[in-house]
Structure 1
Amino acid sequence: MVWKTALLLACAWTVCQAGEKDVLELSDDDFSTRIAEHEVAVVMFYAPWCGHCKRMKPEYEKAAPTLRANDPPVILAKVDCTEAGKETCSKHGVTGYPTIKIFRNGEVSQDYSGPREADGIVKYMKSQVGPSSKELASVADFDKFTSKEEVVVVGFFKEDSDLKKAFLKLADILRERVTFGNSADEAVLKKADVNDGIVLFRPKHLANKFEPATVKYDGAANKDAIEKWINKNYHGLVGHRTRDTSKDFENPLIVAYYAVDYTKNPKGTNYWRNRILKVAKDHTDFNFAISAKDDFQHELNEFGIDFVAGDKPLVFARDAKNRKFAMKDEFSIENFETFIKDLKADKLDPYLKSEPIPDDNEGPVVVAVAKNFDEVVTKVDKDVLIEFYAPWCGHCKKLAPTFDELGEKMKGEDVSIVKMDATANDVPSTYDVRGFPTLYWVPKNNKDSPVRYESGREVNDFVEYIAKHATNELKGYDRKGKEKKKEEL
């Protein structure tokens, strides 16, 4: 009995360490020889102290055994640039961490630009090796291919045809995003009951009674039409939205956030998904998805949610205009149905993340928050220069006294200097704010077309820009930004 327990523990340890062991640890001494042994390898050049590297490490290890077992295999490796791999990292121009490169037969092929989650890494690298559409030469191949835990698209072609040509062209284009297979085997065609056609197979863990497990293409032999069909059907009525696939889901979109986990708790995950499906099937003018609350905490923060207690989903929506809406009632099929009907009837107030409107806003720099943005930027009868900042941003802190000085210089002018904390307030979709500080010039006669400010950040740079672009010439400066003499005023 003791030896059986020991054996079980040993096996458990082996399983736990499988991913780590499947990632090759290479150094200056063996990098060149070992990497040349493999047709395709991915190498992560890292530093042990790097936060991004630490976050990616478990995902990398999770992807390794799956890719090693792929046909053809893809090997994952790593090199510590701070210790045994310094020379190798220098040779390959590594200046930041992690730097990830794809090697083919020992030589660098390209930089890795795919996802950094395990599933995404696997999917991306599978698309980089072998044909864009896998040939299914037997029923066994077909059964194995369609039992994948992902959507697959299979072309069944007894002979060459225009549909087959369009299918294979599209497979080449979409190989990084969609898994394609094709077959001309008589037994496979008979089992699928398709002679010249394309079928999308949904993974078994997403099977439900509200939509078919397979969808057959019935359009023209045109790759654009096939792509449109794939996009429409790929995620089904209620898709599993991950960080890797979030861009696939367009507005108008309704997302249910809860403990989505198809690895550890598929039954519990589908318990709630099936209830969402029951309602979603009657509202196909919206896109629906489920997302793991822990993976999308940043989105929950946009709705003022710092922590999700309990098991029931939280439901949030964005309409076609990207306005945000929150379902305030506890989740139930009845409440969910009411929320969607009210949303479609425009009976709900959009959710707006906003700081309170300042009691005193008479300073040289006007403070904008989401609730007063229209008042101080869009509707004010002045040109506006607005800075979107983050309180923790060093460049923003450095700019603050300059912006205050600029505000003083623009007193009495037909120009308003404004700042907004973009981390605490919803930024209108007209403004593309991805880093801090981001500045925009908003002409008073064209508030719908703000212009990103890309000039210098000294006071004189701002004055010259404003003087040149102001709708009305400034009282204190000419069009070149030169201060006017008193007799000119």
Structure 2
Amino acid sequence: MLKLFFFVVLARVALASDVIEFTDDDFDSKIGDHGMILVEFFAPWCGHCKKLAPEYEVAATRLKGIVGLAKVDCTVHNNVCQKYGVSGYPTLKIFRDGEDAGAYDGPRNADGIVSHLKKQAGPASVELKTEADFTKYVGDRDASVVGFFADGGSPAKAEFLKSASALRESFRFAHTNSEDLLQKHGVEGEGIILFRPSRLNNKFEESSVKFSEDKFTNAKIKQFIQDNIFGMCPHMTDDNKDQMKGKDLLVAYYDVDYEKNPKGSNYWRNRLTFETLCNKGYQPELQFKSRQRFIHVLSYYQQKLPVSGFYFSTGSVQCFGFFHRRDGKALERFLQDYFDGKLKRYLKSEPIPENNDGPVKTVVAENFDAIVNEEDKDVLIEFYAPWCGHCKSLEPKWKELGEKLSSDPNIVIAKMDATANDVPSQYEVRGFPTIFFSPAGQKMSPKKYEGGREVSDFISYLKEEATNPLVAQEEETSKKNKIEL
């Protein structure tokens, strides 16, 4: 009897998950039962999947009854994974009314998943009917974009809602036709105002920005938001960090805590960043990060972990220098050294191999330019992870491909451990293995390889894409001609 009791308890624990499990047999029949659902395609051996699992479980529980979270084990249910083009793990997709609505590109922690999906699940723009609604909405920790429209059916409102729908994953939108709210905010007929979070208010910029274009178009509204949403010095969090990629940034690390110490958090932000940059005329956008929340970044730069610190990064994800003195003069010198080209560039890189004469070239961050970018050759490069099962399966085929093309002077077959090296920004690696073709003369525009994983598939692809005819192809043609003679 006691054994039976424990069996029942364990069975209940095993069934406690709020994550739905789909299979090849029931995916198509059940996915349409959910107006919106997030599906994780995973493999049990995948390190990233293991890291995501507890966060995914917590998010599923918190979103129960709002948005469903599901998963598919691709090592068991391969048909549905192939159907949706899953090539790396984990792959997360949003489905609406049974249809693939695109990749989920949001945060991969419980808080971020919940925040991201709540924005997706509700209306793209929230209607504000009263002053109390408005005050509560713009009091959020993130910026708010509010449309004011006296005419609820105006073309301007239609364009605003288009922008809200397109950017709902990233930003917060609301609208109102309340006459009291229009009058209070000085809007005659129609207008859009971006309200920055009150915790980031400062004397260097306005707390709100009005859309100033004469014509309301989706494109102009989106550009207005992109240009103004973060202000001069945003507070970077897990939720918004991806929205700041691709810009030149001065990044400041402090013990930021806007919940318990907003005044102290803003003190050094205002003194060292705003004053120095405004007075000296430097123009890079700023980011303000919690030292504890992003401590892994500081560890990455192999520095002692000071109370505060700065680094400068460019849109091409090159990072330069680091200092942690709390005075404007030090920051001024730091920036001047950057513009004078005196700062050291930081790269996460394995050592350059002493012997790299094999059929497959080993690429690390320090020799990426020399092997992939500088030589006028076509390069087919695999980005892999040492723990990835698919990468291990591909390894002998990749080596065979390198051997078959080893005599071709115009082709390089290469591989790079993307977990141990910085990957250039134009190579978007979200799963493993990811393969890119970098054509000679077009090094800034690599093409992602989406074909089969057999040697013959790679050969066929290169015959189509290579800048020069493959040597292997020429040899085959020569042999055929000899037989015909």
Normalising by the smaller structure, the TM-score range is: 0.5 to 0.7
The one-letter code sitting in structure 2 at the alignment partner of 1:289 is Q
Choose which of 243, 250, 255 in structure 1 pairs with 2:251: 255
Please say if residues 255 and 289 of structure 1, whose CA atoms lie closer than 8 Å, have aligned partners that are also in contact.
Answer: yes
Query: For the structure 1 residues 316 and 60, does the alpha-carbon distance in structure 2 shift closer, same or farther, using more than 3 Å as the test?
Result: farther
- The structural deviation recorded for 1:238 is 0.9
Give the greater-gyration-radius structure (CA).
1
Task: Identify the residue that residue 422 of structure 1 maps to in structure 2.
Answer: 418
Change (3 A) 1:267 1:398: same
**How far, CA to CA, are the matches of 1:404 and 1:80 in structure 2?**
33
Q: Distance in 2 between matches of 1:304 and 1:119?
A: 25
Q: 1:435 to 1:181 in 2, by over 3 A?
A: closer
The residue aligned with 1:225 is 220
CA shift at 1:237, angstroms?
1.0
Q: Which residue of structure 2 aligns with residue 319 of structure 1?
A: 314
8 A Cα contact 1:464 1:481, kept in partner: no
Pairwise CA distance, 1:244: 2.2
Contact 2:408 2:470 in 1 (8 A): no
Which of 268, 283, 286 is the matching residue for 2:284?
286
Q: Secondary structure at the match of 1:424?
A: coil
The 1-side partners of 2:390 and 2:70 are apart by 33
Q: Tell me which amino acid in the other structure corresponds to 1:277.
A: F
RCO higher in structure (CA 8 A, sep ≥6): 2
Task: Name 2:128's counterpart in structure 1.
Answer: 135
Give, in angstroms, the shift of residue 448 of structure 1: 5.3
2:111 paired with 1:118:
yes
Amino acid at match of 1:134: E
- Residue of structure 2 equivalent to 1:276: 273
Choose which of 138, 150, 153 in structure 2 pairs with 1:146.
138
For residues 432-482 of structure 1, the C-alpha deviation after alignment (integer angstroms, 9 at most, x for no partner) is 4333333344455655554444555555655666677472552x7636488
Rate the CA distance shift 1:327–1:164 in 2: closer, same or farther, 3 A.
same
Structure 1: distance between partners of 2:319 and 2:295: 16
Question: C-alpha offsets along residues 94-140 of structure 1, whole Å, 9 cap, x if unaligned?
Answer: xx99999999xxx9899895655436634642564358241333x33
Q: Secondary structure at the match of 2:312?
A: strand
CA distance in structure 1 between the partners assigned to 2:452 and 2:99 by the alignment: 39
Is 1:434 equivalent to 2:434 in the alignment? no
Give the superposition deviation at 1:217.
2.7
| Matches for 1:372-387 after TM superposition, within 5 Å | 372-380=367-375, 382-387=377-382
Amino acid at match of 1:141: D
**CA distance 1:178–1:432, change in 2 (3 Å):** closer
- 5+ unaligned residues in a row in structure 1: which ranges? 1-22, 28-38, 69-73, 82-95
Cα 1:120–1:372 change in 2 (3 A) is: closer
RMSD across aligned C-alpha pairs, in angstroms? 4.9
Alpha-carbon spacing, 1:181–1:101, altered in 2? closer, same or farther (3 Å): closer
Partner of 1:240: 235
Q: Measured at CA, do residues 482 and 79 of structure 1 come closer, stay the same or move farther in structure 2, by a change above 3 Å?
A: same
TM-score by length of 1: 0.67
Distance in 2 between residues matched to 1:465 and 1:42, nearest whole Å: 36
Which residue, 194, 205, 212 being the options, matches 2:206?
A: 212
State the shift of 1:201 in Å.
2.0
Offset, 1:230: 2.3
Aligned to 1:397: 392
The number of equivalent residue pairs is 426
Q: Distance in 2 between matches of 1:277 and 1:377?
A: 40
Corresponding position of 1:199: 193
Q: Which amino acid aligns with 1:212?
A: E
In 2, the alpha carbon distance for the partners of 1:181 and 1:331 equals 40
Please state how far the C-alpha of 1:251 moved relative to its aligned partner: 1.0
Q: Is this contact kept in 2: 1:102–1:110, CA < 8 A? A: yes
Change (3 A) 1:102 1:375: closer
Structure 1 pair 258/131, CA: closer, same or farther in 2 (3 Å)?
closer
Q: Is this contact kept in 2: 1:198–1:217, CA < 8 A?
A: yes
The 3-state SS of whatever aligns with 2:226 is helix
- Cα distance in 2, alignment partners of residues 54 and 326 from structure 1: 36
Amino acid at match of 1:434: R
CA contact (8 A) 2:39 2:95 kept: no
Report the residue type matching 1:129 in the other structure. Answer: G
1:41-62 Cα shifts (integer Å, max 9, x gaps): 9899999x9753422455566x
**Residues 45-56 of structure 1 correspond to what in structure 2 (within 5 A)?**
52-56=52-56
Secondary structure, in 3 states, of the residue corresponding to 2:345?
coil
> Which runs of 5 or more structure 2 residues have no equivalent in the other structure?
1-15, 21-33, 43-48, 73-88
Q: CA deviation at 1:184?
A: 4.6
Return the letter of the residue paired with 2:468: T
Identity %: 36
1:471 aligns with 2:468: yes
Q: Secondary structure at the match of 1:316?
A: strand
Mapped to 1, the partners of 2:332 and 2:461 lie a distance apart of: 52
**Paired residue type of 1:471:** N
Residue in 2 that maps onto 1:86: none
Equivalent residue, structure 1, for 2:331: 336
**Pairwise CA distance, 1:387:** 3.1
8 Å CA contact 2:170, 2:240 repeated in 1 = no
CA distance in 2, matches of 1:419, 1:358: 12
Q: Distance in 1 between the 2:479 and 2:398 partners?
A: 18
TM-score relative to the length of structure 2: 0.68
Q: What's the offset of the Cα at 1:407?
A: 4.2
* Displacement after TM superposition at 1:365 (Å): 3.2
Q: How far apart in 2 are the matches of 1:221 and 1:168?
A: 15
Q: For residue 366 of structure 1, what is the amino acid of its counterpart?
A: K
Q: Is the 8 A contact 1:353 1:426 kept in 2?
A: yes
